[in-house]
Amino acid sequence: MLRNILSENQCGKCRVCCGFVESDKWEIPLIFREFKEEIEQKLGISLKKQGNEYVMPMEFDGENVVFCPALSENGCTLGELKPFDCAIWPFRVNSLKDLLVITVSPVCKSVSDLPLSRLCEFLREDGFAEKLFAAAECHPDMIKPYIGGYPILLVKE
Long-range contacts of 40-49 (CB under 8 A, 24+ apart): 42/77, 42/78, 42/81, 43/69, 43/70, 43/77, 43/78, 45/69
- Predicted confidence (pLDDT) per residue in 66-79, tens digit: 999 999 888 889 99
Mean pLDDT of the chain: 91
- Indicate whether 9 pLDDT > 90: no
Q: What's the pTM?
A: 0.89
